[in-house]
């Protein structure tokens, strides 16, 4: 049901390529148009396999409305008056109380922690103009299972706050991250940029911040960006997403296994993307602002080509290249890959590129 609703949200956007969208969701065009037709006839009810229950009733009394407010609050214990009001409107209710009235209903029923409520003051953040111009990715701090630990991997679209994916991982290895990225790339396409912090598996530290994972992303044509060291606010949107994930999911459940955690993550991700009003989006849902990328995932990595004026060098063992009789380190992650050395406007200064990405500057004047 949630995947059908997500598909409909994407399909109704102007200029959508139905063939590509259906391929990304693993369905035929015939199936895709079938769900569109059912949605047009019966709205969200047309997406259900079996249900004729009315979405709302105009005969509901104020008492019933109050109970509805409390029911939503019970299911989403961190939602306040503004989110609940928007959710009621999205669900089709009429004569919905003001957000302040809903807040008073919650207060009368002892549903609010006044000290916690003071902390939630909205503010304006910078955001990219369009979906998929920048994704943020990070591991949220691990938590204990009945046996072992879970490391939640989160990927968030900067423009729409759409949760691209939440993966319950048993570790933070590059192979684990890459496997999940391939899954989301096949579903949502490739972003223009990826913002990550400087720790493993995203950064290597030392003289090169690149790892095999970031090299793979660059090879796919994605611009890899690292946050400023010791400045977590650079990835503020994903950090804020982690707080919400912790408050609404992790703190409220005891998880037995990785699979248990993944089921909870999948369920909550659908609520976050398709139901939960977002204050930074003027109370819209993230899915209303998101659409899949037109840059599809290539199952085979593209051939690396450089310009005729580039001086190409193959990175040798220890992550080094030889240029004009000198040896320069570019990073072990690039071993066996070709890189391009390009001139600059300054004598003796050269830039080293891997695919589209400048990875180093070398100075022949420095002994």
pLDDT tens, residue by residue, 275-305:
988 887 788 899 999 999 999 999 999 999 9
In the sheet that holds 349-354, the strands lie side by side as: 311-314, 338-343, 349-354, 357-363
The predicted pLDDT at position 123 comes to: 44
Share above pLDDT 90 across residues of the chain, in percent, rounded to a whole number: 50
The predicted pLDDT at position 115 comes to: 53
Residue 272 has pLDDT above 50, yes or no: yes
Q: Which two tokens stand for residue 73?
A: 């609050």
Residue 181 has pLDDT above 80, yes or no: yes
Buried b (16+ CB within 10 A) or exposed e, 230-243: eeeebbebbbebbe
Is the Cβ–Cβ distance between 29 and 19 less than 8 Å?
Answer: yes
Residue 235 has pLDDT above 80, yes or no: no
Provide the pLDDT confidence category of residue 78 given band limits of 50, 70 and 90.
confident
Q: What's the fold here for domain 62-119? A: Arc Repressor Mutant, subunit A (1.10.10)
Instruction: Give the integer Cα–Cα distance in Å for 209 and 256.
Output: 36
Average pLDDT score over the chain: 86
Instruction: Give the integer Cα–Cα distance in Å for 185 and 8.
Output: 19
The predicted pLDDT at position 252 comes to: 85
The predicted pLDDT at position 334 comes to: 95
308 Cβ contact partners less than 8 Å away, ≥ 6 residues apart: none
Instruction: Give the integer Cα–Cα distance in Å for 194 and 245.
Output: 21
* pLDDT tens by residue, 331-356: 999 999 999 999 998 889 999 999 99
Q: Where are the domains of the chain?
A: 2-47, 62-119, 135-289, 311-363
Would the pTM of this model clear 0.85, i.e. be above it? no
Residue 9: count of CB within 10 angstroms of its CB: 20
Provide the pLDDT confidence category of residue 118 given band limits of 50, 70 and 90.
very low
Residue 128 has pLDDT above 50, yes or no: yes
The residues pairing with 155 across neighbouring beta strands, listed in sequence order, are 137, 165
Q: What residue spans of 189-257 are helical by DSSP H?
A: 212-219, 236-248
Instruction: Give the integer Cα–Cα distance in Å for 83 and 122.
Output: 13
Residue range 188-204: average pLDDT? 87
Neighbour-count burial of 323, counting CB atoms closer than 10 A to its CB (0-12 exposed, 13-18 middle, 19+ buried): middle
Provide the pLDDT confidence category of residue 249 given band limits of 50, 70 and 90.
very high
Name the class of domain 135-289.
alpha beta
Neighbour-count burial of 74, counting CB atoms closer than 10 A to its CB (0-12 exposed, 13-18 middle, 19+ buried): exposed
Residue 160 has pLDDT above 80, yes or no: yes
Range with the lowest mean pLDDT among 2-16, 48-62, 132-146, 295-309?
Answer: 48-62
The predicted pLDDT at position 60 comes to: 43
Instruction: Classify residue 223 by its DSSP letter.
Output: E
- Phi (first) and psi of residue 202, to 5 degrees: -85, -40
Instruction: Classify residue 305 by its DSSP letter.
Output: -
Provide the pLDDT confidence category of residue 59 given band limits of 50, 70 and 90.
very low
Instruction: Give the integer Cα–Cα distance in Å for 235 and 196.
Output: 8
The predicted pLDDT at position 61 comes to: 38
Q: Comparing 186 with 34, which gets the higher pLDDT?
A: 186
Residue 120 has pLDDT above 60, yes or no: no
Residue range 357-361: average pLDDT? 92
DSSP run (H or E) holding 226? strand 223-226
- Could you give the count of Cα atoms lying within 13 Å of 319 in the half-sphere of its Cβ? 19
Buried b (16+ CB within 10 A) or exposed e, 88-119: bebeebeebbebeebbebbeeeebbeeeeeee
Residue 217 has pLDDT above 90, yes or no: yes
The predicted pLDDT at position 124 comes to: 45
Provide the pLDDT confidence category of residue 199 given band limits of 50, 70 and 90.
confident
Residue 100 has pLDDT above 60, yes or no: yes
Provide the pLDDT confidence category of residue 132 given band limits of 50, 70 and 90.
very high
Q: Comparing 145 with 51, which gets the higher pLDDT?
A: 145
């Amino acid at each position: 049901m949630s995947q059908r609703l997500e598909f409909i949200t994407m399909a109704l956007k102007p200029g959508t390529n139905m063939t590509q969208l259906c391929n990304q969701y693993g369905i035929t065009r015939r199936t895709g148009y079938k769900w569109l037709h059912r949605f047009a006839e019966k709205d969200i009810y047309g997406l259900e396999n079996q249900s004729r229950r009315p979405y709302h009733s105009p005969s509901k009394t104020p008492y019933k409305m109050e109970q509805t407010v409390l029911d939503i609050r019970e299911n989403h214990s961190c939602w306040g008056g503004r989110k609940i009001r928007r959710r009621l409107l999205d669900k089709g209710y009429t004569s919905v109380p003001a957000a302040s009235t809903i807040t008073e209903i919650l207060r009368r029923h002892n549903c609010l922690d006044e000290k916690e409520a003071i902390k939630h003051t909205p503010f304006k953040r910078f955001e990219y103009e369009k979906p998929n111009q920048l994704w943020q990715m990070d591991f949220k701090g691990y938590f204990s299972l009945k046996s072992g630990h879970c490391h939640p991997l989160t990927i968030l679209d900067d423009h729409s706050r759409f949760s691209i994916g939440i993966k319950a991982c048993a570790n933070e290895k590059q192979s684990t991250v890459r496997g999940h990225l391939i899954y989301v790339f096949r579903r949502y396409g490739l972003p223009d940029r990826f913002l990550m912090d400087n720790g493993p598996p995203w950064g290597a530290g030392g003289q090169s911040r690149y790892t095999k994972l970031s090299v793979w992303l660059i090879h796919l044509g994605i611009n890899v960006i690292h946050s400023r060291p010791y400045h977590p606010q650079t990835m503020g949107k994903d950090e804020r997403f982690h707080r919400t994930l912790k408050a609404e999911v992790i703190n409220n459940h005891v998880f037995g296994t990785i699979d248990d955690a993944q089921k909870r993550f999948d369920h909550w991700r659908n609520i976050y993307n398709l139901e939960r009003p977002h204050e930074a989006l003027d109370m819209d849902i993230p899915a209303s602002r998101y659409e899949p990328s037109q840059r599809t995932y290539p199952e085979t990595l593209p051939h690396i080509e450089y310009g005729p004026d580039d001086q190409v060098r193959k990175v040798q063992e220890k992550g080094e290249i030889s240029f004009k009789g000198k040896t320069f380190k570019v990073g072990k992650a690039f071993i066996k890959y070709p890189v391009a050395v390009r001139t600059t406007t300054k004598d003796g200064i050269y830039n080293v590129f891997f695919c589209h990405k400048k990875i180093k500057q070398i100075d022949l004047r420095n002994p």
